């Protein structure tokens, strides 16, 4: 039935004994392959030989859904360059769209396709194009053609080629799934290594320092996070501490944060001034950022002998101060732009006194943004309530806030990192 979709799909039962033997032998060969390029070569060579075609090729859908040449060979097994392998693209596109086989047993004389000059100009006598179907849809097509008058494809060829195409599609689909699984495993292994590396440059505990007690914790939304924190030993017995949040998450955010921590440490020791440190780090981030990444960061320097605290805030959440009397306040000023948005920005420093018995808490936005059942946020009010209800000791306070957010979310996967730092005078 030339020029019409092949009817019935071609049952394997319609194949003669020799065709069945050939099909089974080819199936064993392609099922043994684990490499997509190798299996595609076997598919094309086998099909061209099976139907005595002059040329054959496979086209597969890319990530964008468009058909792309995967392999093309002649009857001797020699590869054909895409620019030299001209085909009737109209036939190919129709088969991929409809999912139905197309047989043209005399292309040059075909009324149905006579308007497609590509067929005539290629001097093709016979064309057979079969979809590669999987449970996920049509993933590509197999196409064979011939210009030999002595070999014209017929309806008798259709069942064999469709049975072959079904096996080929299943094999290609299997290999793609295996490769995707291997890539996931490879990425998981790399992320595990990146997570271990990140832990080496983030303090696992608040370091022992004279005159202060503190606690830090960070829970990454992914295996590695974009939040970072640090505690610095500065001249004259002072303690520097910071909490930051990179706009990017995952590995890019972690790498960016690691580099930034190094910059902050250097600038803090070099300049010994909170405002100047933030201003210089801002210029560094602005110069380095090539993907629009920016950073929010709170940076403070505490003198344990006097309780005097100098601090700067680059677009970060305002720090919370739990008072001795059980009240909770926050320091809203000064507040500057996140680091990296505007080069040349000059930051200001604020000064407060941390009294004995007070606890300063610096958070990323992860705790408040933690999502529980039904998409409900943990929220700022719960954060405040938890801080007020927890013991005043920094370690106990951080532990309580982590536990409350974990209970609220039910340990569901989260979209944002959670970082907490608390500090008090000893």
Cα separation, 176 vs 173, in Å, equals 5
Residue-level pLDDT at 30 = 67
Residue-level pLDDT at 209 = 86
200 pLDDT above the threshold of 70: no
Per residue in 59-110, pLDDT (tens digit) is 888 878 888 888 888 888 887 776 656 666 778 888 888 889 888 876 555 5
275-to-68, 204, 288 alpha-carbon distances in Å: 56, 27, 20
Same domain, 340 and 194: yes
Beta bridge partners of 213: 424
Residue-level pLDDT at 85 = 60
1-to-47, 56, 103, 181, 336 alpha-carbon distances in Å: 21, 22, 8, 43, 76
Average pLDDT for 313-332: 90
Cα separation, 46 vs 33, in Å, equals 14
Same domain, 320 and 389: yes
Last residue of a domain, one of 147, 180, 213: 180
Average pLDDT for 171-176: 80
Same domain, 196 and 150: no
Q: Are 217 and 419 in contact (CB under 8 A)?
A: yes
Same domain, 204 and 176: no
Same domain, 361 and 396: yes
Number of domains in the chain: 2
Same domain, 106 and 196: no
Same domain, 170 and 29: yes
Residue-level pLDDT at 59 = 82
Write the CATH number for 19: 3.30.450.40
6 pLDDT above the threshold of 60: no
Cα separation, 263 vs 266, in Å, equals 5
Per residue in 362-411, pLDDT (tens digit) is 998 888 888 888 888 888 999 999 999 988 889 999 999 989 988 988 87
Write the CATH number for 320: 3.60.40.10
Same domain, 281 and 415: yes
Residue-level pLDDT at 274 = 92
Residue-level pLDDT at 114 = 42
- pLDDT: which is higher, 319 or 111: 319
- Lowest average pLDDT, out of 18-22, 67-71, 76-80, 199-203, goes to 199-203
Q: Are 130 and 50 in contact (CB under 8 A)?
A: no
Same domain, 107 and 210: no
Residue-level pLDDT at 253 = 66
Task: Give the rounded distance of the alpha carbon of 293 from its chain centre.
Answer: 17
Residue-level pLDDT at 89 = 73
Give residue 320's domain range: 189-425
126 pLDDT above the threshold of 60: yes
Residue-level pLDDT at 202 = 62
35 pLDDT above the threshold of 80: no
Look at residues 253, 214, 262 and name the one whose alpha carbon lies nearest to residue 425: 214
Sheet of 67-74, strands arranged across: 67-74, 55-61, 137-146, 126-134, 102-104
310 pLDDT above the threshold of 90: yes
pLDDT tier for residue 121 given thresholds of 50, 70 and 90: very low
């Amino acid at each position: 039935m030339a020029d019409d979709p092949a009817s019935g799909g071609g049952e394997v039962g319609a194949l003669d004994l020799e065709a069945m033997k050939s099909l089974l032998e080819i199936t064993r060969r392609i099922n043994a392959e684990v490499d997509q390029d190798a299996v595609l070569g076997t598919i094309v060579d086998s099909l061209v030989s099976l139907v005595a075609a002059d040329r054959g090729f496979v086209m597969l859908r890319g990530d964008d859904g468009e058909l792309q040449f995967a392999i093309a060979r002649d009857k001797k097994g020699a590869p054909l360059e895409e620019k030299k392998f001209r085909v009737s693209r109209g036939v190919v596109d129709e088969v991929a769209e409809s999912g139905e086989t197309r047989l043209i047993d005399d292309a040059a004389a075909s009324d149905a396709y006579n308007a497609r000059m590509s067929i005539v100009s290629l001097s093709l006598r016979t064309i057979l194009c079969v979809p590669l179907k999987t449970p996920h849809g049509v993933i590509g097509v197999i196409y064979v053609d011939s210009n030999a008058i002595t070999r014209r494809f017929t309806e008798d060829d259709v069942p064999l080629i469709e049975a072959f195409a079904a096996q080929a599609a299943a094999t290609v689909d299997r290999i793609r799934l295996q490769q995707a699984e291997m890539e996931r495993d490879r990425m998981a292994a790399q992320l595990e290594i990146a997570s271990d590396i990140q832990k080496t440059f983030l303090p696992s505990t608040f370091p022992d320092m004279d005159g202060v007690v503190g606690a830090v914790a960070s829970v990454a939304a992914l295996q590695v996070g974009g939040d970072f924190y640090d505690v610095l030993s500065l001249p004259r017995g002072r303690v520097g501490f910071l909490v930051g949040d990179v706009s990017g998450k995952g590995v890019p955010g972690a790498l960016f944060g690691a580099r930034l921590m190094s910059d902050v440490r250097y600038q803090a020791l070099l300049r010994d001034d909170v405002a100047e440190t933030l201003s210089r780090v801002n210029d560094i981030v602005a110069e380095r950022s090539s993907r629009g990444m920016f950073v929010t960061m709170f940076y403070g320097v505490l003198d344990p002998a006097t309780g005097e605290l100098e601090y700067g805030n680059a677009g970060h959440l305002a720090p919370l101060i739990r008072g001795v009397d059980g009240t909770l306040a926050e320091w809203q000023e000064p507040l500057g732009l996140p680091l990296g948005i505007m080069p040349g920005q000059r930051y200001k420093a604020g000064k407060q006194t941390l009294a004995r018995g007070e606890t300063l808490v610096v958070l990323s936005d992860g705790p408040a943004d933690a999502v529980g059942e039904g998409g409900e946020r943990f929220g700022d009010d719960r954060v405040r309530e938890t801080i007020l209800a927890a013991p005043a000791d920094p370690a106990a306070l951080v532990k309580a806030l982590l536990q409350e957010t974990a209970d609220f979310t039910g340990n569901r996967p989260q979209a944002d990192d959670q970082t907490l730092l608390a500090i008090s005078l000893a």
